[in-house]
């Protein structure tokens, strides 16, 4: 009798004498044998044992071999199934093979022929399992590489953000706060999952294009001339061009970078989009951006607004500068206490957004 480590072979036949012949053969080849008189009994055995090989008759009461074969396939069991039948029907044999049988043996058979065909069926099962393990291992490696690429990508974005902070100290902390405010508003709008993650990323890098803005304009303490204002408001396009190679698979974040200065009434930049033409992620970040701009100090303004005053200003521009849906979500998040102003280590961050409000 084989030890407990022996693989299980399930022999399914409604004739006990034929089952015993197969049991004797399979035990001699090192299998621990289970028996069933029909498909229903066979499924009960399969539920309680990890079966390597199934030898099944075709014609049986209650549940025949074909039904059993389909049930094994539906349960995605790993057993190799060899059908044994007195029906010498090529079409039936092909049908059995097409739905998962490893082989089809016709009665009467020679025991040595059965042994050889079983060996081939088990070899096929081994190859299938090895191929599956390879695919799963490959998927794990691909996932690990994807995580590494994302880490490298985020490091690249962080380097750009740090470069911008060195260029303009007033940006320090601004993007982090806009990202957090945007995340809170987005959740109140009903967004989550990957879109929410990309909105947070877009908020963090929305001002990257200011790397290309002249420092004399970026640091100017007085009101900007029309030419200077036009120059600084090119930063959404510059940022979009810089980040497109990095954010090609994050279109939501790219939309934020390009369109966070669009206005709901169509008078924004760079594309003059209006209403729902503006991606919802950009409408969200536009409100968060304005909130932080108004509640932060500026080189040309010694005081910043309170949260209540900033909310009143944003509500006053609802339907013109800002999406009313986003404004309602912003106000609701503030009233619930979820959105609160963060402490600033460095006062002020950006140029141009306040200028946009002045010219509204």
Q: Where is average pLDDT lowest: 101-115, 156-170, 172-186, 300-314?
A: 156-170
* Beta-bridge partner residues of 106: 85
Reply yes or no: is the peptide bond before residue 108 cis, omega within 30 of 0: yes
**What is the distance, to the nearest Å, from the Cα of residue 52 to the centroid of all Cα atoms in its chain?**
35
Higher pLDDT, 195 or 135: 195
Nearest CA among 184, 318, 341, 196 for reference residue 256: 196
pLDDT at residue 290, as a whole number: 95
Q: Is residue 302 predicted with pLDDT exceeding 60?
A: no
What's the N-to-C CA distance of the chain in angstroms? 90
Which residues are within 8 A (CB) of 183 and not within 5 positions of it... i.e. 6 or more apart? 196, 199, 200, 203
Local confidence band at 175 (pLDDT 50, 70, 90 cut-offs): confident
Q: Where is average pLDDT lowest: 41-50, 291-300, 312-321, 334-343?
A: 291-300
Higher pLDDT, 103 or 326: 326
| Cα–Cα distance measured from residue 198 to residue 216, given in angstroms and rounded to the nearest whole number | 32
* Beta-bridge partner residues of 82: 55, 103
pLDDT at residue 245, as a whole number: 81
Q: Is residue 331 predicted with pLDDT exceeding 70?
A: yes
Higher pLDDT, 160 or 257: 257
Q: Is residue 150 predicted with pLDDT exceeding 90?
A: no
Give long-range contacts, CB 8 A cutoff, 24+ apart: 245-249: 246/153, 246/156, 246/157, 247/201
Say how many C-beta atoms besides its own lie within 10 A of residue 312's C-beta: 12
Higher pLDDT, 297 or 102: 102
Which residues are within 8 A (CB) of 42 and not within 5 positions of it... i.e. 6 or more apart? 10, 12, 36, 54, 56, 63, 68
In the chain the domains, ranked by start, together with CATH numbers, are: 8-136 (3.40.50.2300), 168-359 (1.10.3210.10)
């Amino acid at each position: 009798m084989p030890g407990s480590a022996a693989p299980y072979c399930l022999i399914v036949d409604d004739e006990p004498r034929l089952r015993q012949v197969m049991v004797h053969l399979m035990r001699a080849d090192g299998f621990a044998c289970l028996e069933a008189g029909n498909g229903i009994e066979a499924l009960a055995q399969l539920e309680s044992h990890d079966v390597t090989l199934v030898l099944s008759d075709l014609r049986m009461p209650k549940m025949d071999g074909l039904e059993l074969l389909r049930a094994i396939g539906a349960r995605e069991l790993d057993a190799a199934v060899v059908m044994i039948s007195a029906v010498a029907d090529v079409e039936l044999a092909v049908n059995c093979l097409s739905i998962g049988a490893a082989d089809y043996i016709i009665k009467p058979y020679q025991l040595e022929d059965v042994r050889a065909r079983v060996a081939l069926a088990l070899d096929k099962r081994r190859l299938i399992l090895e191929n599956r393990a390879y695919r799963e291992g490959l998927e794990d490696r691909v996932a690990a590489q994807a995580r590494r690429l994302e880490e490298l990508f985020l490091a690249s974005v962080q380097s750009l953000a740090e470069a911008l902070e060195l260029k303009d100290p007033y940006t320090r902390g601004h993007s982090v706060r806009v990202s957090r405010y945007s995340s809170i508003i987005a959740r109140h709008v009903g967004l989550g999952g990957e879109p929410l993650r990309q909105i947070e990323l877009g908020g963090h890098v929305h001002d990257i294009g200011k790397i290309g803005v002249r420092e004399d304009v970026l640091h100017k303490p007085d009101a900007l001339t029309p030419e200077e204002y036009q120059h600084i408001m090119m930063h959404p396009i510059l940022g979009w061009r810089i980040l497109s190679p990095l954010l090609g698979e994050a279109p939501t974040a790219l939309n934020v970078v390009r369109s966070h200065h669009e206005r709901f009434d169509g008078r924004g930049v760079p594309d003059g989009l209006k209403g729902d033409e503006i991606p919802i992620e950009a409408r969200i970040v536009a409100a968060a951006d304005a909130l932080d701009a108004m509640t932060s100090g500026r080189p040309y303004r010694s005081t910043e607004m309170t949260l209540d005053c900033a909310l009143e200003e944003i509500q006053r521009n609802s339907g013109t500068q800002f999406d009313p849906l986003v404004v309602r979500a912003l106000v609701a998040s503030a009233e619930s206490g979820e959105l609160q102003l963060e402490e600033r280590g460095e006062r002020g961050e950006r140029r141009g957004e306040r200028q946009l409000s002045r010219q509204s």
